[in-house]
């Protein structure tokens, strides 16, 4: 994907130097839908996704105002905070039953614009069902690459892995997904 633009760097500067909520609001407006969609793939309900999305932006605001580090990629920062928030969310609670397939299918169709190639090969419900069978790390890599359209280097930064590890992870994830699809077509 992209590195932090000049405009985003300026907004970060305003947030950091002047605690400018309006500047952060502009970052929020740009990223909120994408972060919400990323989180929605990982939790059971839209309400949980909304709560976690709010938490992500609060944590990012606090991080920007506390750190002295240069933020090279605000995009990756938002996704890393989102990823860690979801991990913390599941650590702190007992896993609850997932929504029914029909409700989940409706939510996916209402909230997401899935990759057209995947939709052509298998229905949205089938894709989601097969995706849920993968290990969390495989599912996350596939979502970041093929739904969110991140580059290998951005995924590596988000997942705190090397580029080579991400390539291997994606290869294994796609192989596992193909095996799942192949088993169902037998």
What's the rounded Cα separation, in Å, for the pair 168 and 5?
A: 29
**CA distances (Å), 145 to each of 8, 101, 127, 150, in order?**
23, 24, 15, 5
pLDDT tier at 55, thresholds 50, 70, 90? very high
> pTM for this one?
0.65
Output the six-digit token pair for 55: 């938490």
pLDDT value at residue 60: 92
Q: In this predicted model, what pLDDT tens digit does every residue of 116-125 receive, in sequence order?
A: 444 444 466 6
Mean pLDDT, the chain, rounded, equals 80
Element (H, E) at 56: helix 46-66
pLDDT single digits (tens) 127-164: 777 888 888 899 888 888 888 888 898 899 889 899 99
Q: Which two tokens stand for residue 59?
A: 């944590």
């Amino acid at each position: 994907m992209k590195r932090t633009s000049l405009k985003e760097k300026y907004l970060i500067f305003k947030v950091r130097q002047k605690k400018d909520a309006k500047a952060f609001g502009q970052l929020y407006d740009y990223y909120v839908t994408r972060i919400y969609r990323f989180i929605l793939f990982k939790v059971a309900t839209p309400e949980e996704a909304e709560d976690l999305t709010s938490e992500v932006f609060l944590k990012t605001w606090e991080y920007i105002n506390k750190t002295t580090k240069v933020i090279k990629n605000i995009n990756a920062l938002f996704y890393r905070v989102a990823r860690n928030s979801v991990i913390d969310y599941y650590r702190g609670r007992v896993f609850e039953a997932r929504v029914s397939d029909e409700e989940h299918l409706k939510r996916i169709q209402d909230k997401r614009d899935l990759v057209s190639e995947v939709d052509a090969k298998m229905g949205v419900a089938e894709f989601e069902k097969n995706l849920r069978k993968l290990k969390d790390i495989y599912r996350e890599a596939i979502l970041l690459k093929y739904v969110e359209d991140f580059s290998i280097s951005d995924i590596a930064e988000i997942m705190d892995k090397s580029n080579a590890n991400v390539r291997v992870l994606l290869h294994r994830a796609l192989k596992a997904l193909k095996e799942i699809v192949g088993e169902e077509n037998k």
